[in-house]
Chain A
Amino acid sequence: MKIISLILLFLIQSNLFGETYFCKPELEKLPILQGGRVKPLYVHAMETIKSLTGQSRVDDHSAVEAYCLLSLNGMGLPSQIKLDARIDHVDLIKFLDIEKGQHSIPYEQLLSKEDLIKSEMRMAQGMQDKSESYKKSISKLYGNLLLYKEIKNGENWLFANRIGNKIDWAPLTAFLTEEKVIAQKKLTPEDPFLPVLLKSKIDFDEISGKKYELELFYAKAGLASWSLVLTLLSLATLVLFKNFNITLIFASLSALTQLILVALRVTISGRAPITNMYETVLFSGFGSLLLALILGHLKKEKLFVYMGLGYNVCTLMMLNFANGMLTATISPLVPVLRDNFWLSTHVTTVILSYGALALSWVLANTVLIKRKIGKITKQEELNFADIIYTTLKWGTTMLAAGIILGGVWADYSWGRFWGWDPKETWSLIVLCVYITILHGRYTTWIKTDRFITVTAGAFLSVMMAWFGVNYILATGLHSYGFSEGGAIFLGTFFIVQIILIFITSTKFTKHIES
């Protein structure tokens, strides 16, 4: 260890290396085992640096460079790289003595306070008067600090180390041995380090294949952003151009891009693309756009395409900008979900049904606004109600099928069809809400004007079943669940939707006499 640092220093003095030593972009393709999966270093470095600093770059360095430079500290190579932790919680800022107006503190400074943070975290867990968000913030900070230390000690960066026909994973400090470097120096005297590191990739590829490289393409392609651009363009052409075909072309391109995005995730993770919030949002947006295109084609009705695009914009916005709530990280599944057949039938059906119900929500709100500003005829309103009714029928049928499939899965793997689990119960609540609307539509209680208002409001139950169970019910009401990203999003959604319904229904029908 000491010797190798001496060699390194010697090399550095001979000006063969710049400030970044051998931290070159080639490294991003290296396989690494972290979080239970093999992935390219680019993906891991990006995730870790984002988790540590909240940003994807450190000064002028890319995430991979920053990760590599920080890890080299473990080899005794000092680097100028400085990572700052982002602190948002007011009480945590106070506890860490950060100057007013500042929201970050260097990790090096935190390292000197490690014991203090640890004991504060332990004390806070036992105290009733500390808020849940403070407890979470401080344990996240402590977790990040340990991660920083692990990287800095060169222990986080694992290399595929070939032993016979097997792959063993060794940390940088154990992998980059003096013998390897000296042996390599005879072959490539100008740079004996990088080839040694890259050798781990060659070894791994020979034994386990190159499939993990797909994730590098996936991470760099930015398909979610491209889809958003295409969908926005499609919506714009719908408003600006008379020719509907232009809209259709952009909408289809966007759907295709999302299909590739979904397919890539399926290939990388080897399972149905619906196992976390990010994936369900992605899939419901994609599924409902597809459903809207098909329904629009079958019923020869352009409005479906508008609804599909409208909802698609919402989901893509969330995927691109709500990183605090939806994480794109692909991680291994909990044991109970490891059944691809049930996962792909049950969850897909439920998420697709949410997508279909979301279509009704888009149109219902549009009608509400149109009605308020008085740009709607009675005939148009009836026509809209008819289209909403169609999406509700599709959504409800799929939801019923999805719930039953879930029941069968639960029966098959836990021995019970129904257990009043909050997720099950809320999906049944959604079904009941929409069934009540469908039944009520036949009675005099829910006439066309009310039907549209009620449909707009009914989507709140979907949001509750989809997000609320995870973000509000799961954390428990008493734990100030509303202080976190997901709950804030949901609360805002509820308030905006309720205000919209309230404003638009103050003066009920305002029709243009035709």
Chain B
Amino acid sequence: MKKLDKIDWGKIERFIGSLKFAVIVISLFTLGMIVGTFLESYYGTDFANRTIYKTIPFILIQFGMLLSIVYAAVLRLPPKRRLYGFYTIHSGLIIIGIGSLITYVAGIDGQITLAPNEPNRQVILTKDILKITYPTEGKQITNNLPFTAFPVSLNDKYENIAIKDYIPFAEGKFVWSEPINRYPENAQVHSSKYHFKNAFAEQDFYLTLHPEAGNDFQSSFSMGPLSITYYPEKIAHCFNTDNSSKIIIWNTQTAECYTPEEKSISVKMTSSKNRFIIVPNNNSFLTFFPDYSPYPMDLKLQSDENSIIRVFSKKLFEDKPSLFLFGNKAAFYSKDEHKWKLVDLFLKGKPAILPWMNAEISLTEHQERLVPYNLPISTIPIQKNGSLIKGDLRAIKLEIMEREYWVTNYSPLSLLIQGKKVIFEVTKESLTLPFELALTEFKMDKDPGTNNPSSYESFIKLFSDGITTSHHVFMNNPMKKSGYTFYQASYSQDAQGQYNSTLAVNVDQGRPLKYLGSLMLVFGAIWHYNLNKKNKKKSGVMP
């Protein structure tokens, strides 16, 4: 206490209320903003928020400004007529500050995406979380992730799950990783890396059959008009048989294949000249129309996409450039020779010449059982044309039963831990609305004669307590409901070409205060600077 008495509080107050302190904090604030805008331009909005705008030091500077404003006014009391405008400005700023604080603490800011005629009540907020779900027990645990721009150790534990590191901005670095599960010796789970080259382009790509490979690695790939498909090594030889029907029958489980000619299965014709074959399978018979679908059809002409037996018609792939890869072999149709060719690809060997535009392909890597994987590595994000081109990956390292796992915002992780299924997701916090919304129509008008949108409009049905109401939301025309405000924010197109509408959702309790403060600020400024009749001398010395 004695020490506190020694401090001259009056002096500190006078300093905080002084013009010099005001100049210092405003300058610091300005400097922070300048750096922030440049960071934003280079590294993206999120990075600038995490390094400047929404960090403690920057918020402290703003708090310092608020203190300066308060003390500047307090020190100039009791009221003087000359300073009425000044008091109004400063009170306005203080009120805006309080309003912003209320919004910061209690406000909600999120987005809801509505697909046509699908009711939704989940609002996606901005906070990053790690969600752990036990589907069998219906249990869900969420861990808040820190708002940081750089990697941190979380060192958190939940039951037998250790949550180790968090990388807010990461990029994938390719590695071959050990598979989590065991596979039989003859399982066809191989992966390869190829190098493709023609007169216009050169490209490396990975193809895999491994069930543990994430979304980044697929079994097919297309490059302009050329489509490339990756198949098990064991069925390559069937592409070499010169059977007249050009049909291959293939068991996806055993990776065995044969032609109808080999098993004397006859290819028949329907009355409308469509080819079909009937393949025996475990005491039953499957009917295929190979020129339409690789899957068997039932009596109602519905195709069964889960069937392990598939039929492949080489005829379908003779017109357009199609390349089939089987690890160390490649098959394609040569239009010049009018026949299918199967060529060998030797690991790091000479490239095989393909029959399209001097193209060639070579096998650069091959793994029988390892899984291709993009290991998250911390990076500084890069923004270009408004979106991140690098660093758009948030990743968390987990340790479970002495094994390391990565879970990212692009690839959730699903594991069996001591017989229990557990799902891990890096996602955003969400909020459930007390009512439900459905998009009935999304309308986009265009400028006449062009493809530029001139307006977006969402027609929305709102279901609340058994009452349905219709609303029309468009740019500059939000919808309000129980404190929530919904704004037309953006739109997207799904795989079927249907438009989904994204609405910004917002609850802002500080709004009235911010408006009041703003009004006071503007009127105060006019009063102080432009209406005050100052009896100053022409000397220019300011009062």
- Chain A interface (Cβ within 8 Å of chain B)? 33-38, 119, 122-123, 158, 169, 332, 334-336, 338-339, 342, 379, 382-383, 385-386, 389, 393-394, 396-397, 400-401, 404, 407-408, 411-418, 420, 422, 425-426, 428-429, 432-433, 435-436, 439-443, 445, 448, 469, 472-474, 476-479
Name A417's closest neighbour in chain B (CB-CB): B514
Centre residue among B53, B383, B385, B447 by max chain A CB count within 10 A:
B447
Least CB distance, A128 to chain B, in whole angstroms: 11
Least CB distance, A222 to chain B, in whole angstroms: 28
A474 to B109, CA, bound (A): 25
Q: Which 8 A-B pairs have the closest CB atoms?
A: A36-B447, A415-B506, A382-B540, A393-B529, A386-B540, A473-B41, A432-B30, A404-B518
8 Å CB contacts to A: which residues of B521-543? 521-522, 525-526, 529-530, 538-542
Known: A334-B452, A338-B475. 16 other contacts (CB 8 A): A123-B201, A158-B449, A335-B453, A382-B539, A397-B530, A413-B475, A413-B478, A415-B505, A417-B508, A420-B49, A436-B30, A439-B23, A448-B540, A473-B37, A476-B383, A476-B385
Give chain A residues whose Cβ lies under 8 Å from the Cβ of B514: 407, 411, 417
B396 within 8 A of A: no
CB <8 Å contact, A414 and B45: no
B33 within 8 A of A: yes
Least CB distance, B271 to chain A, in whole angstroms: 45
CB <8 Å contact, B525 and A397: yes
B252 within 8 A of A: no
A36 to B526, CA, bound (A): 42
A436 with B449: in contact, given A420-B48, A478-B382, A479-B384 (CB under 8 Å)? no
Cross-chain contact of A442 among B49, B103, B542 (Cβ < 8 A): B542
CB <8 Å contact, B526 and A425: no
CB <8 Å contact, B33 and A428: yes
Least CB distance, B94 to chain A, in whole angstroms: 15
Give chain B residues whose Cβ lies under 8 Å from the Cβ of A386: 538, 540
Give chain B residues whose Cβ lies under 8 Å from the Cβ of A379: 539
- Chain B interface (Cβ within 8 Å of chain A)? 19-20, 22-23, 26-27, 29-30, 33-34, 36-38, 40-42, 45, 48-49, 53, 100, 103, 109, 200-201, 382-385, 447-450, 452-456, 475-476, 478, 485, 487, 489, 504-506, 508, 511, 514-515, 518, 521-522, 525-526, 529-530, 538-542
CB <8 Å contact, A415 and B487: yes
A38 to B382, CA, bound (A): 41
Give chain B residues whose Cβ lies under 8 Å from the Cβ of A442: 19, 542
Give chain A residues whose Cβ lies under 8 Å from the Cβ of B53: 420
CB <8 Å contact, B23 and A33: no
CB <8 Å contact, B525 and A396: yes
Least CB distance, B329 to chain A, in whole angstroms: 30
CB <8 Å contact, A415 and B478: yes
Name B48's closest neighbour in chain A (CB-CB): A420
Task: List, sorted by A's number, 10 A–B pairs whose CB atoms are closer than 8 Å.
Answer: A35-B447, A122-B200, A382-B540, A393-B529, A413-B476, A414-B487, A414-B489, A417-B511, A432-B27, A445-B20
CB <8 Å contact, B540 and A383: yes
CB <8 Å contact, B475 and A335: yes
Cross-chain contact of A429 among B20, B33, B42 (Cβ < 8 A): B33
A119 with B476: in contact, given A397-B530, A473-B41 (CB under 8 Å)? no
A338 to B49, CA, bound (A): 29
Give chain B residues whose Cβ lies under 8 Å from the Cβ of A158: 449
Give chain A residues whose Cβ lies under 8 Å from the Cβ of B384: 476, 479
Give chain B residues whose Cβ lies under 8 Å from the Cβ of A445: 20, 23
CB <8 Å contact, A432 and B33: yes
CB <8 Å contact, B530 and A404: no
Least CB distance, A427 to chain B, in whole angstroms: 10
Name B107's closest neighbour in chain A (CB-CB): A416
Least CB distance, B443 to chain A, in whole angstroms: 12
CB <8 Å contact, B30 and A441: no
Name A393's closest neighbour in chain B (CB-CB): B529
A146 to B520, CA, bound (A): 56
CB <8 Å contact, B506 and A416: yes
Give chain B residues whose Cβ lies under 8 Å from the Cβ of A426: 33, 37
Least CB distance, B308 to chain A, in whole angstroms: 40
